C-alpha cells in the first residue's frame, strides 16, 4: 500500500513538473536553447506516441522512467530561477482547477450529436 501511495505521489509530481516545463517553454525570458529543450520535453510528456512503445516489455517504460525525468531535470536546471518560479505557480493554478465530469459528458455528447447530424446530412446529399 505504501508503495502505491509513493507511486501516485511521484506521478502527480511528474505531471506537475511536465506542466511547469510547458510553461517554461512558453516564457519569453527563457533562453532559446532551453526553450527548445522544454518544448521537446513537454511535447514528449503530453504526446500519446512514445520513443519506445509501451507494449515492449521493460524497454517500453524506460523512456517514461528515464528520458522524461531527465528532460524535466535538465530544463529546470538550465532555465532561470524566476522563470521556474513563475511557471510552477502557473502550473499550480492550472492543476488546481476543479474538473467537472458532467461538463465533460455534455461536451462529448454535443460533439457526438453534431457528428451524427453531419453524417446524416452528408448521406442525404
In a domain, 125, yes or no: no
The Cα 94–Cα 16 span in angstroms is: 10
Cβ distance 17 to 58 under 8 Å?
Answer: no
Cβ distance 53 to 60 under 8 Å?
Answer: yes
User: All 3 cell numbers of residue 97?
Assistant: 482547477
Q: What percent of the chain lies above the pLDDT cut of 70?
A: 89
User: All 3 cell numbers of residue 30?
Assistant: 527563457
What domain count does the chain have? 1
The Cα 75–Cα 77 span in angstroms is: 5
Average pLDDT of the chain is 85
In a domain, 122, yes or no: no
In a domain, 115, yes or no: no
pLDDT tens per residue, range 35-84: 999 999 988 877 777 666 666 777 777 777 788 889 999 999 999 999 99
Enclosing domain of residue 38 = 2-98
pTM of the model: 0.67
Amino acid at each position: 500500500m505504501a508503495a502505491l501511495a509513493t507511486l501516485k505521489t511521484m506521478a502527480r509530481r511528474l505531471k506537475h513538473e511536465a506542466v511547469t516545463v510547458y510553461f517554461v517553454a512558453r516564457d519569453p525570458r527563457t533562453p532559446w536553447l532551453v526553450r527548445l529543450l522544454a518544448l521537446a520535453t513537454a511535447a514528449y510528456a503530453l504526446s500519446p506516441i512514445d520513443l519506445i512503445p509501451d507494449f515492449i516489455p521493460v524497454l517500453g517504460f524506460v523512456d517514461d522512467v528515464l528520458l522524461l525525468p531527465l528532460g524535466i531535470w535538465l530544463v529546470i536546471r538550465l532555465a532561470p530561477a524566476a522563470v521556474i518560479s513563475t511557471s510552477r505557480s502557473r502550473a499550480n493554478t492550472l492543476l488546481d482547477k476543479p474538473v467537472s465530469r458532467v461538463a465533460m459528458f455534455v461536451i462529448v455528447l454535443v460533439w457526438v450529436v453534431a457528428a451524427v447530424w453531419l453524417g446524416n446530412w452528408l448521406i442525404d446529399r
